[in-house]
Amino acid sequence: MELKPKFNLKWYKNLDNYSDGDVEEDIIKYILENPPEDYGKVILEHYCWPVYYHLTHTRQNILNWYPFKQDASILEIGCGLGAVTGLLCNKCKAVTAVELSKRRATAALLRCREKDNLEIIVGNLNDIEFDRKFDYITLIGVLEYQGTYTESENPYKDFLLKVKTLLKEDGKLLIAIENKYGMKYWCGAAEDHTGIPFDGINQYQMSGSKVRTFAKEELRKLLIESGFINQYFYFPMPDYKLPMVIYSENSLPENEALENAFPYYIHSDGTLLIEEEGLYKDIIRNNVFDFFANSFLVECSLSPIENEEQRVTFALLNSKRQSEYRVGTIISASGHVVKFPLNDNIYVKSHLVHVVKNMENMERRGLKILPYKLEGENLVSEYQELSLLENLMCEASARKDTDLLWSLWDELLRQIEMASDEVEQKTCMIYELGIDTYAENKNYGKIVKEGYLDMIPRNAFVKEDELLWFDQEWALDNVPSKYILFRGMLQTYIRFPIMRYSIPVQEWLEHYGIHMYFHEFLSFDKLFTKMVMDQYYAGYIAEHREKDIYEKNIMKLL
């Protein structure tokens, strides 16, 4: 086997102090025997936290949206088993990865064996002498451990001072780290590094660990004292380890519907006392989200950052999908919205082309469409300072304005049916898929020749009392128009529980006659979801928690 990266053992002292144990040998074996596109299958077959954590492609979401400049050099400090290293090799001209553990570095080497722009150095950064400086340096899950690996009275500051000497004057340091006061810790989740609930909140008195995480202002002060006078904070959710959405100082969540930010917990659920999801509504309304965010990604620099308009302020990363459908969306300070492939799968690029075709077809039918254009592999549009249809519905629900709500749902159904011709009942996809058997006397309502499944309230702006559609990814033939309406109701009601108090689900279903084929529509929706989602995705541990785990844990305290 040809190994293209350089493997540098000059600074290695035969000490592998950091490890997840012998499971790392298993992971190396999986890396040797499987191409990266099969890692999902490996995770499913050998599921445990280390296997999932080190092999899931979701790890790359921490930086796959970040706008690295062309021909950049990057120093990755603490590359681990190479979960992010390959991504950096794809984005930058030259990558130098440093790793304490030879076994971990070997895994990264094998994982990136085709990358000829990579050098892996085994050893402690504090011992290594470099003959160059870098455009970027990353500390992803590394800074918190310097109480152990930097011998100093002030290890965190001194480590950052060392890092600063390796950064070009106009370079950027990217730090990902847990928030000591992250919401998951207040809810009872075990501290990620020590496994002890409330350990960080109690200033690590229980464990006596040398690990240290920081509150936002603590971290900001530490960075300033270390010479990084310019910082910009991002807030990966649910955290930096497995991020699905990236908020920022200039793009904080505005309501309780956090985009795709499903919490997960590494350790046992036995200490969870509060349901994390339920707290964000009040946290956001009280403008303290940045204090309670579970982790930070901080962009730091020694001098003022140029080209601020190019800064990404928000990223949504659909990495739970099948490989051919994984796309990300970023919003920049300049006002550009860009949808882009999250991987090199050729079908992702064709998927984005289909988005444009869907929008063009809808426009030909007389619907209003947000202008898009393809630029290379990306789909680009302009950011709109407009209200979403779902927000208008939410506001109407808060006022109990059911007349307006019904009129909005009616208009949505009208436009769904306007978007395509009607076809015969017997051609309905529900029959074709075997969910139901065709009968002359059964009527699913209007069957549309082309059903645009993303004609839902979150994908339409309201402009001068008209709907302006965007992000129309999915189109299926011969779909009931009311199924698309049903899909919109499901997603809106899940995101905004307040909707259920103005128009209950059963009342909504009966109003449109959908109660008669509720189970058929639900089965169809599950099949579509199965088609889109990664079949090997092991999922967040939170998805398998007992629903009443919080109540059970609280009862133990009484």
Strand spans (E) along 397-542: 422-423, 447-452, 460-463, 466-469, 475-480
Question: Are the beta carbons of 75 and 96 closer than 8 angstroms?
Answer: yes
Polymer length of the chain: 558
DSSP letters for 518-548 = HHHHHHHHHHHHHHHB-TT----GGGGS-TT
Return d(Cα 558, Cα 554) in angstroms, integer: 7
| Rounded CA separation 418/365 (Å) | 7
Cα gap 419→352, rounded to integer Å:
20
Instruction: Give the per-residue pLDDT at 257.
Output: 60
| pLDDT at residue number 259 | 67
63, 69, 72, 78 alpha-carbon torsion, rounded to 10°? -20
The helix (H) or strand (E) run that includes residue 158 is helix 155-164
pLDDT of residue 546: 67
The pLDDT-based confidence of 310 (bands split at 50, 70, 90) is confident
Give the pLDDT score at 256. Answer: 60
Kindly indicate the confidence band of residue 440, based on its pLDDT and cuts at 50, 70 and 90.
Answer: confident
Residue by residue, DSSP assigns 369-407 as E---EEETTEEEEE----EEHHHHHHHHHHTT-HHHHHH
Rounded distance between C-alpha atoms, residue 243 and residue 248, angstroms: 13
Count other Cβ atoms within 10 Å, centred on residue 102: 19
Site of tokens 């808060």 = 398
The SS3 call for residue 72 is coil
pLDDT in the model for residue 307:
73
User: What does the alpha-carbon distance between residue 118 and residue 105 come to, in Å, rounded to a whole number?
Assistant: 12
Q: Tell me the percentage of the chain whose pLDDT exceeds 90.
A: 81
Give Cβ neighbours of residue 55 (< 8 Å, ≥ 6 apart): 27, 30, 31, 39, 42, 43, 83
What pLDDT, on the 0 to 100 scale, is given for residue 275? 87
* Cα separation, 200 vs 197, whole angstroms: 8
CB 46 within 8 A of CB 30: yes
For residues 65 and 267, give the distance between their C-alpha atoms in angstroms, rounded to a whole number: 29
Torsion angle defined by CA atoms of residues 468, 317, 537 and 107, in that order, rounded to the nearest 10 degrees: 160
As a whole number of angstroms, the distance between CA 500 and CA 509 comes to 12
Can you give the pLDDT at residue 228?
Answer: 96
Among the listed residues 451, 504, 500, 446, the one whose alpha carbon sits nearest the alpha carbon of residue 475: 451
Amino acid at 304: P
The C-alpha atoms of residue 90 and residue 342 are separated, in whole angstroms, by 12
Q: Please answer whether residues 363 and 356 qualify as being in contact, where contact means their C-beta atoms are separated by less than 8 angstroms.
A: no
In angstroms, what CA-CA distances link 16 with 120, 164, 165? 15, 26, 26
3-class SS at 517? helix
Span of 14-23, 82-91, 116-125, 314-323 with lowest mean pLDDT: 14-23
The Cα–Cα gap between 348 and 252 comes to 28
* Model-wide pTM > 0.85: yes
State residue 309's pLDDT score.
78
Residue 400 has a CB neighbour count (10 Å cut-off) of 12
- How confident is the model at residue 540, as a pLDDT? 46
Q: Are 201 and 181 in contact (CB under 8 A)?
A: yes
Task: Give pLDDT, residue 362.
Answer: 97
Cis-peptide into 341, omega within 30 deg: no
Identify the pLDDT of residue 99: 97
151 alpha carbon, distance to own chain's centre = 36
pLDDT (tens digit, 9 = 90+) per residue, 56-66? 999 999 999 99
Which tens digit of pLDDT belongs to each residue from 134-146?
Answer: 999 999 999 999 9
The model's pLDDT over 8-58, given as tens digits with 9 standing for 90+, comes to: 999 999 888 788 889 999 999 999 999 999 999 999 899 888 999 999 999
Per-residue pLDDT at 550: 87
- Positive or negative torsion for Cα 141, 145, 146, 149: negative
pLDDT at 267: 66
In what helix (H) or strand (E) does residue 363 lie, and over which residues does it extend?
helix 346-364
pLDDT in tens, 417-432: 999 999 999 999 999 9
Q: Which of 282, 275, 278, 295 is nearest to 181 (CA)?
A: 295
Mean pLDDT of the chain: 93
Q: Are strands 327-332 and 295-301 parallel, antiparallel or unpaired?
A: unpaired
